[in-house]
Structure 1
Amino acid sequence: MAVYLHEEDLPEGVLAPGPVAVDTETMGLITPRDRLCVVQISDGKGDEHLVRFAPDSAYDAPNLKAVLADPARLKLYHFARFDLAAIEHYLGVVAAPVFCTKIASKLTRTYTDRHGLKDLVRELLGKEVSKQQQSSDWGAAELTDAQKDYAASDVRYLHAMHEILVVRLAREHRTEIAQACFDFLPARAKLDLAGWPDHDIFSHEAA
């Protein structure tokens, strides 16, 4: 297992075929304001790749974009809504098709209200994930080893959890509704970017 840091793009051919786990680190939670700093990606074979973008980046990244936009590759996320918006806004691609472990957790683990990555990894895999670096400065000139390990851990367990959650969705007869939610996520991200981040447009109440 190794963590690789790349500048501005993913090297060609470093990922095996099949689903990829994806996450992002930004300067904050308001996508148009808070720039995309790092995209983490893993093929689930044991290595994690971190692609870092400079403050003045043009976000060209043709290799990374090709993987993210590949309709034949399933992308695994935890809270895909945020990552999809950041990737589309800065990299200009829709990183789908999608499987979101947070949504799958909410549809299957209805016995709890704890659906964070740390809680999910602990219950499903019996492992611990540190969240200490979550609010650190991802735009710094150099990333610390702690930041790199934190970023890598956000994609390290998604393949294993995906396998478990697929089984649970089928067991609870919620595969179809989950897939409908996953299919809608790119549109949900577009609504966030267009100015409807908090309002439920399906509700009866006025905007």
Structure 2
Amino acid sequence: MALKIVGLTGGIGSGKSTVARLFADLGVPVVDTDDVAHALTGPGGAAMPALVAAFGDAVRRADGALDRAAMRDRVFADPAARARLEGILHPLILAESRRRLAELSGPYAVLVVPLLFETPAFLAEVATTLLVDADEDKQIERVVARSGLAPDAVRAIMAAQLPREERRRRADAVIVNNDDLAGLALQVAAKHRYYLAKLANPSE
């Protein structure tokens, strides 16, 4: 039987990575598309030749990796450039994610995709979706603390993402991450028990 995949998603600063780690702590294999993207755009990464051909040397750091800040500035206000970037990266990320998932074993696996609901190709890979949701002020606070971005810059990123209520409407299940880590861990443990029953043993 093919390994069932839980698609984990959420807005910036919602706590997707923390939830993914909590699943991993419970023995669930995790593939994070952000990790895949970093590998593809690192020094010698498979995506770099196409990115440089499309956007020029200005988006390549001295070590050969993608200059993520320069690329973000380039595509943020330019929908055509963003579409060109996604056209290069998304097929490569999808192919590598599939390769990594194919090597996994376990009762089920978690695939972390920040733009899951916006990318049908990734949505088609998952058996069910799990949204990590947080109040917007919590999202801003977390991103400012970890990245040093100004609050207005974080709000601009959030405004460019799928609206929070639309994500909640589309998700099969929601974990709320407004409080402490212990409470979050309890929610993940409950979801884990549910997925063990419904995905690993669907006849039960």
- Work out which of the two has the higher radius of gyration on C-alpha atoms and give 1 or 2: 2
| TM norm structure 2 | 0.27
The structure richer in strand per residue is 1
- Which of 1 and 2 has higher RCO (CA within 8 Å, sep 6+)? 2
The structure richer in helix per residue is 2
